[in-house]
Amino acid sequence: MAQTTAEGERPALGHYLKNHLREYGILIALVVIMVFFQVMTDGTLMKPVNLTNLFLQNSYIIIMALGMLLVIVAGHIDLSVGSVAGFIGALAAVMIVNWGLPTVVVIVACLIVGTVIGAAQGYWIAYWRIPSFIVTLAGMLVFRGLTLWLLNGQSVGPFPKGFQLLSTGFVPDLFGPDKPNITAFVLGLAAATAIVIFAFRARARQQRYGIEDEPFVAFAVRNGVIALALAYISWLLATYRGLPNVLITMAVLISAYTFLTTSTTLGRRIYAIGGNEKAAKLSGIRTEWLTFLTFCNMGMLAALAGLIFAARLNTATPKAGVSFELDVIAAVFIGGASMSGGSGKIVGAVIGAFIMGVMNNGMSILGVGIDYQQVIKGLVLLAAVIFDVYNKSKQG
């Protein structure tokens, strides 16, 4: 990447990239994987209809990955999210289809139930110090069982139109019904511009503070790639049906959680707990309370993901959410979170989820059997984590 830079900058750039291999590595990996499947599928991957599908398919994984990142940063794990998502989908179906309750009421009630489920698990983990692995393994079984019980082993559906909009709805075009969808493209451009502006502001601030700054080439390439990708993707989506509602939900949540993890005392304290719980406790941080909160939050996001998944399938099935937890956890670790807690970034988890999503999608298009798909995904996860460990040991 550095061959075109000026003579004097080269060592600095090389040095910088070497030290931040992990952060760039994952972005590069996503780009490489996308290019690979784009070529192998003869361009099917980036077709607007497939791209739209890609977002719809992965939205619930990404949403849960946001919560899982916090859980893992705090030094825990949550195995129950798939079952909880399935349970909430079932609950929503029963409330709407069988009882005829209004959609909005059901959505709010389901989010509250999800939070309560998270709280019930977080209570034992935070205040009784029962390992999260055990508590959430129990939760995984309990809520899978409750899902079966709620649905009587049957699928329940279909949902009313309003509920389906959660997943399959699209943002209407303000500029008229013709294709392309101008609103989608404008919003995409706005997002790309916003990201570039934020990046420049952050860079200016970092330079003012004298943080080891990113060489300009790396900065420009990184943000250029992201901004162009956003613009290009929004254009592609615009030529199909526009922006899916769920993409907006995701964008809002990703921004909110990025802000939470980087700029708030709450987020910073969660990182401190994961980095050294005893030191955090002796520094006056209410470690139990914050651990409890991360699980409440995880429960709420799992509920949201369950609603979106049910809306997408337009039915609640007893199988909904099976093994979602594994995809979510894999996404977070591929995204560079540390197994021992204390480090990891929201953007990393999101990219990790996309890597998994693109591979799923690409391999399915190619007709790779589900058997090989699992093997390959497993190996990618292992490779990502080995890469992490290797990088760390090299840094000493």
The contact set with other proteins (CB under 8 A) reads 205, 209-212, 263-266, 268-269, 271-272, 275-276, 278-286, 342-343
CB of 292 to other proteins, least distance (A): 15
Give the nearest distance from C-beta 74 to other proteins in angstroms: 13
For residue 5, give the nearest of 227, 16, 207 by alpha carbon: 16
Shortest distance in whole angstroms from residue 270 CB to other proteins = 12
- Pick the closest to residue 386 from 22, 2, 17 (CA basis): 22
| Separation of CA 104 from chain center | 24
Q: C-beta of 290: minimal distance to other proteins in Å?
A: 12
Least Å distance, CB 360 to other proteins, is 33
Residue nearer to other proteins on the CB measure, 21 or 109: 21
Phi and psi of 244, rounded to 5°?
-65, 145
Q: Which is nearer to other proteins, 271 or 324 (CB)?
A: 271
CA 234 – CA 214 distance, rounded (Å)? 28
Write down the least CB distance from residue 285 to other proteins, Å: 7
Query: Closest Cα partner for 47 from 235, 221, 192?
Result: 235
Nearer to other proteins, 280 or 316 (CB): 280
CB nearer to other proteins: give 274 or 362.
274
DSSP codes of every residue in 341-363 = SS---HHHHHHHHHHHHHHHHHH
- 280 vs 305, beta carbon nearer other proteins: 280
What is the nearest approach in angstroms of other proteins to the Cβ of residue 61? Answer: 27
Q: Which is nearer to other proteins, 10 or 286 (CB)?
A: 286
Least separation in angstroms between CB 208 and other proteins: 9
- Distance CA(66)–CA(13), nearest Å, equals 31
- C-beta of 193 vs 206, nearer to other proteins: 206
Number of Cβ within a 10 Å radius of residue 391: 16
In whole angstroms, what is the distance from residue 324 CA to residue 119 CA?
A: 20
63 with 308: CB under 8 angstroms?
yes
Tell me which residue of 331, 347, 339, 349 sits closest to 392, measured CA to CA: 339
Q: Are 283 and 303 in contact (CB under 8 A)?
A: no
Residue closer to other proteins (CB basis): 69 or 280: 280
C-beta closer to other proteins: residue 38 or 276: 276
| Alpha helix segments (H runs only) across 283-395 | 287-313, 324-334, 346-366, 370-395
Measured from the CB of residue 28, what is the shortest distance to other proteins in angstroms? Answer: 24
Classify 245 as helix, strand or coil: helix
Q: SS3 for 4?
A: coil
CA nearest neighbour of 225 among 70, 63, 35: 35
